[in-house]
């Protein structure tokens, strides 16, 4: 564990007065004859590097306790500071440091941890704040002066904060900071931000932000209300949609609490969105109804991992095969549990795929003599169908990532979902008669409109032109599968009188249009017959001259 020093006690290695014990450390500070305080350190004799963030057990070099023979620091800087340190107006030496503020430290380190061995780049990359002695935000530079060190107590004699400085402490502007402190009239002598930097009315862009007592001394035209109706306040709404008022933060004790006023010593207003506020997001519930729970939608078995087990869980629920808890099943957050959620979970699991699919907008469900298929204008990833049938009904689903059905009495519930590498066309083959009760078609991102459910044979013929006709009409031939097709016309004696088609036809469930001209035939009744493989369809025509 790192030898961490909290900002509460230490922001340098040299002090005018020494803490007895460093927090999170078993090491005591040692005061030399010059009044400087020193911590033990790890010394690399090869590189001459001094490391303060290591423990003695972690030090693989020379461990130096203050005052050990050869220690160059102890009694070595009575009138100056070591290289890399900055002297303040009180004669104290300070070193730059990395401060975690409200964020947790490295590994298991707590909030408000300090690191001295991190560079500015390393500190910033970790999301922490890097402080150079004397810049606004350093709470200890010039902080331990005695009356003989620095006789000026005038707040304007020290560095004032700019708008950009104040954003580091939760304020959006200097004006807002003064407003939170109670207005210009409240800024007499040291104020609640003086631990970080001096704030005065002439430090703001507006030289006077005071107003009458009706608004508590806050600014007039530039005021905004936070969610708690505090003028220029720091109140925020958390992820549970709960408003939290601004907190009064003590920079020494690191306690943050709601308060009516925040003008005590070492106090400043702070945003409620920080780890010191136990109420932030406290009323949030996960999909299982657990306060501040971590289970996400899609994790139906609540094991912390979304995987195929959750898919099986939800599929079984949709098919009516389980009564297990599905409170985390609404993976797409639309308020419904259906095949769309199955696909959402599948796509979470297979998130590293890259398919350039164009999602379908509409589709037709095609039912012929022995198969169920889908024709769509784009990509379809899943389908859920409920159908009724007689007791002799049998069904076989196509192979897919998910291909499941459940039959109870004369009702079958089926789901087919692909992994996204191919669109669904063929769904199932069957034996017997069926009726479609409901159908739900889904692409990668949402529902697909089912325009119609079309029931037809493998080949279908119908008259789409005049009937009776004279002397010509049009015939539509719908073909489920491409192949050889013959279309003949017979008279009532069974004699073939015309051949309209005799060759290959592409699949077209909407129908190929074929013209029939009967100008050479006598009036009467004729039969047009379409033949494909072992399927035959017939339609009657009447010619009237």
Render pLDDT for 492-509 as a digit per residue (tens, 0 to 9): 888 899 999 999 989 888
Say if residue 78 is in the same domain as residue 170: no
Instruction: State the DSSP code for 28.
Output: B
**Residue 367 is assigned to a structural domain of this protein:** yes
Bond before 78 cis per omega within 30 degrees: no
Which domain range does residue 247 map to? 155-270
3-state secondary structure of 477: strand
Q: What is the pLDDT of residue 404?
A: 94
Q: What is the mean pLDDT of residues 476-503?
A: 90
Angle, CA of 68, 72 and 75, to the nearest 5°:
80
Q: What is the pLDDT of residue 216?
A: 34
Question: Which residue in the block uniquely carries the two structure tokens 């780049």?
Answer: 121
Instruction: Out of 455, 486, 505, pick the residue that ends a domain.
Output: 455
Instruction: Out of 270, 305, 329, pick the residue that ends a domain.
Output: 270
Query: What is the band of 482 on the pLDDT scale with cuts at 50, 70, 90?
Result: confident
Model pLDDT for residues 271-325, shown as the tens digit of each residue:
777 666 777 777 788 888 887 788 888 999 888 899 989 999 999 999 988 778 8
- Could you tell me which residues come within 8 angstroms of residue 155 by beta carbon, excluding any fewer than 6 positions away? 187, 189, 190, 191, 194, 198, 199, 200
Say if residue 127 is in the same domain as residue 243: no
Is the model more confident about 491 or about 269?
A: 491
Q: What is the mean pLDDT of residues 466-494?
A: 90
Question: Which residue in the block uniquely carries the two structure tokens 């009702």?
Answer: 411
Answer whether residue 330 shows pLDDT above 70. yes
Q: What share of the chain is helix, strand, coil (3-state, %, to 5)?
A: 10, 35, 55
CATH number, residue 509: 2.60.40.2550
Question: Which residue in the block uniquely carries the two structure tokens 């503020």?
Answer: 101
pTM above 0.85, yes or no: no
Say if residue 390 is in the same domain as residue 465: no
Is the model more confident about 128 or about 488?
A: 488
Q: Identify the CA nearest to 11 among candidates 194, 153, 177, 141.
A: 141
**CB-facing half-sphere around the CA of 512: CA atoms within 13 A:** 20
The β-bridge partners of 529 are: 488, 538
Output phi, psi for 310, to 5 deg: -70, -35
Q: Identify the CA nearest to 311 among candidates 348, 257, 262, 284.
A: 348
Say if residue 32 is in the same domain as residue 159: no
Output phi, psi for 362, to 5 deg: -140, 160
Question: Which residue in the block uniquely carries the two structure tokens 């220029």?
Answer: 232
Q: What is the mean pLDDT of residues 102-129?
A: 82
Question: Which residue in the block uniquely carries the two structure tokens 């220690």?
Answer: 71
Angle formed by the axes of helices 308-318 and 339-349, nearest 10°: 170
Average pLDDT, the chain: 77
Q: What is the mean pLDDT of residues 515-519?
A: 94
Burial 255-271 (b: 16+ CB within 10 A, else e): ebeeeeebbeeebbbbb
124 vs 128: CA distance, rounded Å: 5
Say if residue 2 is in the same domain as residue 147: yes
Is the model more confident about 153 or about 465?
A: 465
Say if residue 35 is in the same domain as residue 114: yes
**Residue 281 is assigned to a structural domain of this protein:** no
User: Which strand (E) or helix (H) includes residue 174?
Assistant: helix 174-180
Contact in structure between 131 and 139 (CB atoms under 8 Å): no
Say if residue 511 is in the same domain as residue 372: no
**Residue 356 is assigned to a structural domain of this protein:** no
Q: What is the pLDDT of residue 274?
A: 67
Query: What is the band of 417 on the pLDDT scale with cuts at 50, 70, 90?
Result: very high
Cα 102 to Cα 139, 239, 251, 270, 343: the distances in Å are 15, 18, 11, 11, 40
Say if residue 51 is in the same domain as residue 14: yes
Say if residue 20 is in the same domain as residue 109: yes
**Residue 23 is assigned to a structural domain of this protein:** yes
Say if residue 102 is in the same domain as residue 201: no
**What HEC string does 60-72 produce?**
CCEEECCCCCCCC
Q: What is the pLDDT of residue 406?
A: 93
Task: Give the whole-number percent of the chain exceeding pLDDT 90.
Answer: 29
- Could you tell me which residues come within 8 angstroms of residue 527 by beta carbon, excluding any fewer than 6 positions away? 489, 490, 491, 492, 538, 539, 540, 541
Looking at the structure of the chain, the number of domains it has is: 4
Q: What is the pLDDT of residue 453?
A: 86
Q: What is the pLDDT of residue 226?
A: 80
Model pLDDT for residues 175-210, shown as the tens digit of each residue:
555 555 544 444 444 333 443 344 444 444 433 333
Say if residue 130 is in the same domain as residue 55: yes
54 vs 60: CA distance, rounded Å: 10
Q: What is the pLDDT of residue 238?
A: 84
Q: What is the pLDDT of residue 122?
A: 92
347 vs 420: CA distance, rounded Å: 8
Q: What is the pLDDT of residue 231?
A: 77
Q: What is the pLDDT of residue 93?
A: 73
**Residue 336 is assigned to a structural domain of this protein:** no
**Residue 65 is assigned to a structural domain of this protein:** yes
Answer whether residue 211 shows pLDDT above 90. no
510 vs 478: CA distance, rounded Å: 6
Q: What is the pLDDT of residue 79?
A: 82
pLDDT winner (highest mean) among 121-130, 266-275, 479-488, 521-530: 521-530
Instruction: Out of 245, 270, 295, pick the residue that ends a domain.
Output: 270
User: Which strand (E) or helix (H) includes residue 310?
Assistant: helix 308-318
**Residue 17 is assigned to a structural domain of this protein:** yes
Q: What is the pLDDT of residue 381?
A: 93
**Residue 392 is assigned to a structural domain of this protein:** yes
Contact in structure between 269 and 197 (CB atoms under 8 Å): no
Q: What is the pLDDT of residue 426?
A: 94
Name the token pair of 275: 């780890």
User: Which strand (E) or helix (H) includes residue 340?
Assistant: helix 339-349
Answer whether residue 45 shows pLDDT above 60. yes
Number of helical H runs and strand E runs in the chain: 5, 32
pLDDT winner (highest mean) among 243-247, 354-358, 505-509: 505-509
Say if residue 103 is in the same domain as residue 124: yes
């Amino acid at each position: 564990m790192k030898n961490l020093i909290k900002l509460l006690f230490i922001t340098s290695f040299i002090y005018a007065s020494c803490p007895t014990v460093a927090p999170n450390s078993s090491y005591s500070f040692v005061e030399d004859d010059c009044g400087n305080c020193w911590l033990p350190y790890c010394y690399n004799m090869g590189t001459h590097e001094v490391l303060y963030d290591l423990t003695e057990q972690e030090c693989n070099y020379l461990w130096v306790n203050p005052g050990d023979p050869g220690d160059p620091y102890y009694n070595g800087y009575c009138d100056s500071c070591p290289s890399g340190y900055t002297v303040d107006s009180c004669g104290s030496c300070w070193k730059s440091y990395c401060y975690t503020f409200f964020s947790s430290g490295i590994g298991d380190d707590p909030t408000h941890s300090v690191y001295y061995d991190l560079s500015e780049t390393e500190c910033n990359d970790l999301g922490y704040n890097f402080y150079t002695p004397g810049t606004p935000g350093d709470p200890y530079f010039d902080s331990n002066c005695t009356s003989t060190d620095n006789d000026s107590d005038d707040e304007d004699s020290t560095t004032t904060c700019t708008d950009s400085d104040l954003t580091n402490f939760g304020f959006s502007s200097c004006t807002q900071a003064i407003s939170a402190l109670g207005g210009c009239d409240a800024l007499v002598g040291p104020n609640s931000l003086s631990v970080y930097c001096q704030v005065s009315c002439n430090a703001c862009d507006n030289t006077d932000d005071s107003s009458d007592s009706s608004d508590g001394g806050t600014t007039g035209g530039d005021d905004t209300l936070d969610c708690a109706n505090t003028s220029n306040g720091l109140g925020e709404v958390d992820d549970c949609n709960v408003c939290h008022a601004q907190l009064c933060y003590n920079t020494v004790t690191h306690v943050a609490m709601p308060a009516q006023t925040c003008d005590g010593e070492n106090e400043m207003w702070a945003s409620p969105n920080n780890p010191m506020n136990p109420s932030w997001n406290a009323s949030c519930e996960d999909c299982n109804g657990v306060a501040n729970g971590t289970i996400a939608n899609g994790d139906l078995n609540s094991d912390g991992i979304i995987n195929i087990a959750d898919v099986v869980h939800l599929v079984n629920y949709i098919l009516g095969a389980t009564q297990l808890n599905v409170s985390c099943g609404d993976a797409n957050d639309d308020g419904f549990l259906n095949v769309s959620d199955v696909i959402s979970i599948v796509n979470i699991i297979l998130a590293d795929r890259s398919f350039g699919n164009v999602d379908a907008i509409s589709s037709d469900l095609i039912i012929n003599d022995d198969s169920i298929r889908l024709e769509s204008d784009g990509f379809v990833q899943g389908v859920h169908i409920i159908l009724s049938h007689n007791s002799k009904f049998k069904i076989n689903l196509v192979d897919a990532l998910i291909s499941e059905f459940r039959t109870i009495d004369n009702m079958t519930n089926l789901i087919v979902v692909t992994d996204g590498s191919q669109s669904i066309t063929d769904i199932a083959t069957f034996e017997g008669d069926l009726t479609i009760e409901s159908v739900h078609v889904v692409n990668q991102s949402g529902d697909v409109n089912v325009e119609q459910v079309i029931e037809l044979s493998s080949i279908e013929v119908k008259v789409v032109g005049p009937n009776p006709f004279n002397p010509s009409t049009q015939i539509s031939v719908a073909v489920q599968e491409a192949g050889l097709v013959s279309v003949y016309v017979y008279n009532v004696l069974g004699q073939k009188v015309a051949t309209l088609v005799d060759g290959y036809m592409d699949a077209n469930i909407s129908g190929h249009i074929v013209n029939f001209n009967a100008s050479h035939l006598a009036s009467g009744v004729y039969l047009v017959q379409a033949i494909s493989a072992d399927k035959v369809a017939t339609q009657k025509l009447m010619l009237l001259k």
